[in-house]
């Protein structure tokens, strides 16, 4: 076997081209608070990396971590009595929510292959879920403010609709859909509403300005909600939560095979995975245990201070505009009168990782606490980038892609 230092040196060489996300110049993919919290998450992750959440009998510690995380999430997301699961990430949580709605519709409404109605800004995981589960994803255009258009979504809900979707925050623009109105739509149509709070679930409850904004399980009509602990929960990748208001409805999520189905006996899994690594679950628990409510609130305050500073500064640069009215830590902006992607190219040349979007062509930002320290650097480089594109008239050939 090779010596450890030789292996470490090799993996560091392989990783030498990765973005340096600790310096605040990475504006998506990474959710980082500080070195101390990362070390807590890292130690817990490593200590429980071989534990398997498939067996609560063998690993009751992981089962207890999961139960405590779900209680914490339930209190934050609008129902302290909610039931659910910890999953591997937002995509799995969304697939589970769609699977639950599909199986509920098959049992209670005799709908075999129905539709999901969702705003254009909803995450592609819903399309993936529809593809995997034999459903149709019906995307509906947004309002001018980049939020779900309730009237258009109402028109799109047909007799075979099995789920309506809203986001808090949506990933492309950071806007919160009108969840209360979507809840009324869901109740009127007798269809469950899922709220995708994968991005906002562990940030928005701590933003004081949003204390009157209702978007969680407390809203009538909301059946389920997803929220990622590896985003603004600052846990190691990948760990998310999926929660339900109703125990009977939630019972459609697990997969079960009776004892007669195979030689090993009865088999039941609550999520898509069989083996579930204990590391991410323990990592998330350790972060929640360390931060508690006050710690999350303090991090949210830093994150929002950075978000406001960046949005304010971007708005003061001539030729740029923020899309919609994003109330949280995620937002997008575009250039007017010049090519947005060319501005992105200039930013990238100055050492920033750039998130690009196509409809409309825009640059997307997901703010973390460390971004506050590099606010002036980003705004200076952005102003210089805009000036360079305006001077050259450059048009970029770079395509918008989530990569």
For 124-172, write each residue's pLDDT tens digit.
999 999 999 999 999 999 999 999 999 999 999 999 999 999 999 999 9
Q: Are residues 341 and 236 in the same domain?
A: no
DSSP sequence for 116-173 = EEEETTS-THHHHHHHHHT-EEEEEPBPTTSSB-HHHHHHH--TTEEEEEEEBS-TTT
Is 3 contained in some domain?
no
- CA 127, CA 204: separation in Å to the nearest integer? 25
Q: Are residues 125 and 231 in the same domain?
A: yes
pLDDT digits (tens, 9 = 90+) for 298-347: 999 999 999 999 999 999 999 999 999 999 999 999 999 999 999 999 99
Q: Can you give the CATH number for the domain in which 173 is found?
A: 3.40.640.10
Residue with tokens 């406001």: 308
The count of structural domains within the chain is: 2
Is 207 contained in some domain?
yes
Is 149 contained in some domain?
yes
User: Is it the case that residue 400 has pLDDT exceeding 80?
Assistant: no
Q: Can you give the CATH number for the domain in which 342 is found?
A: 3.90.1150.10
* Residue partners of 374: CB distance under 8 A and separation at least 6: 23, 24, 25
User: Is it the case that residue 402 has pLDDT exceeding 70?
Assistant: no
- CA 175, CA 326: separation in Å to the nearest integer? 5
User: Is it the case that residue 403 has pLDDT exceeding 60?
Assistant: no
User: Is it the case that residue 90 has pLDDT exceeding 90?
Assistant: yes
Q: Are residues 223 and 336 in the same domain?
A: no
Residue 259 has what pLDDT? Answer: 87
Q: Are residues 113 and 184 in the same domain?
A: yes
Q: Are residues 206 and 282 in the same domain?
A: yes
Report the SS3 class of residue 361: strand
Read off the pLDDT of each residue in 346-362 and give the average, rounded to a whole number.
Answer: 95
Domain boundary, last residue among 265, 288, 311:
288
DSSP sequence for 174-232 = --B--HHHHHHHHHHHT--EEEE-TTTTTTGGG-GGGTT---STTSTTEEEEEEETTST
For residue 66, the cross-strand partners are: none
Residue span of the structural domain in which 130 resides:
36-288
Average pLDDT score over the chain: 95
Q: Are residues 278 and 226 in the same domain?
A: yes
Q: Are residues 310 and 263 in the same domain?
A: no
Q: How far is CA 90 from the centre of its chain?
A: 6
For 93, 97, 225, the CA distances from 274, given in Å and listed in that order, are 15, 18, 22
| Angle between helices 340-349 and 375-392 in degrees, nearest 10 | 120
Q: Are residues 67 and 109 in the same domain?
A: yes
Q: Are residues 132 and 166 in the same domain?
A: yes
For residue 79, the cross-strand partners are: none
Q: Are residues 263 and 342 in the same domain?
A: no
The count of other CB atoms within 10 Å of the CB of residue 51 is 20
For residue 269, the cross-strand partners are: 255
Residue 292 has what pLDDT? Answer: 94
Read off the pLDDT of each residue in 24-53 and give the average, rounded to a whole number.
Answer: 93
pLDDT digits (tens, 9 = 90+) for 99-112: 999 999 999 999 99
């Amino acid at each position: 076997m090779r010596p450890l230092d030789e292996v470490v040196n090799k993996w560091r060489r392989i990783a030498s081209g990765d973005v340096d996300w600790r310096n605040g110049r990475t504006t998506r993919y990474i959710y980082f608070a500080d070195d101390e919290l990362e070390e807590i998450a890292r130690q817990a992750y490593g200590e429980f990396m071989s534990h398997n959440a498939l067996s609560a009998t063998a690993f009751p510690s992981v089962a207890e971590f999961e139960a405590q995380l779900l209680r914490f999430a339930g209190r934050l997301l609008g129902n302290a009595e909610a039931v659910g699961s910890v999953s591997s990430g937002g995509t799995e949580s969304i697939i589970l929510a769609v699977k639950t709605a599909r199986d509920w519709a098959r049992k209670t409404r005799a709908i075999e292959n129905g539709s999901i109605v969702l705003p254009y800004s909803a995450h592609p995981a819903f399309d993936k879920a529809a593809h995997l589960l034999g459903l149709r994803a019906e995307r509906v255009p947004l309002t001018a403010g980049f939020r779900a258009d309730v009237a258009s979504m109402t028109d799109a809900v047909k007799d075979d609709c099995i789920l309506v979707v809203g986001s808090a925050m949506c990933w492309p623009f950071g806007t919160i859909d009108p969840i209360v109105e979507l809840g009324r739509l869901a109740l009127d149509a007798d269809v469950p509403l899922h709220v995708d709070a994968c991005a906002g679930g562990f940030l928005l409850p701590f933003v004081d300005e949003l204390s009157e904004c209702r978007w969680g399980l407390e809203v009538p009509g909301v059946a389920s909600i997803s929220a990622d602990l590896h985003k603004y929960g600052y846990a190691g990748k990948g760990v998310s939560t999926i929660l339900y208001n109703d125990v009977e409805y939630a019972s459609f999520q697990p997969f079960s095979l009776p004892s007669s189905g195979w030689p090993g006996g009865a088999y039941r899994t609550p999520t898509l995975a069989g083996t579930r690594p204990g590391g991410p679950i323990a990592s998330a628990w350790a972060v929640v245990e360390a931060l508690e409510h006050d710690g999350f609130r303090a991090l949210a305050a830093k994150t929002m201070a950075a978000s406001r500073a960046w949005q304010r500064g971007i708005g003061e640069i001539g030729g740029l505009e923020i899309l919609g009215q994003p109330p949280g830590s995620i937002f997008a902006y575009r250039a007017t009168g010049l090519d947005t992607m060319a501005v992105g190219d200039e930013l990238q040349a100055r050492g920033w990782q750039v998130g690009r979007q196509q409809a409309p062509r825009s640059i997307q930002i997901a703010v973390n606490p460390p971004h506050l320290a590099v606010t002036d650097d980003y705004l200076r480089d952005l102003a210089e980038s805009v000036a360079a594109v305006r001077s050259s008239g450059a048009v970029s050939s770079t395509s918008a892609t989530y990569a």
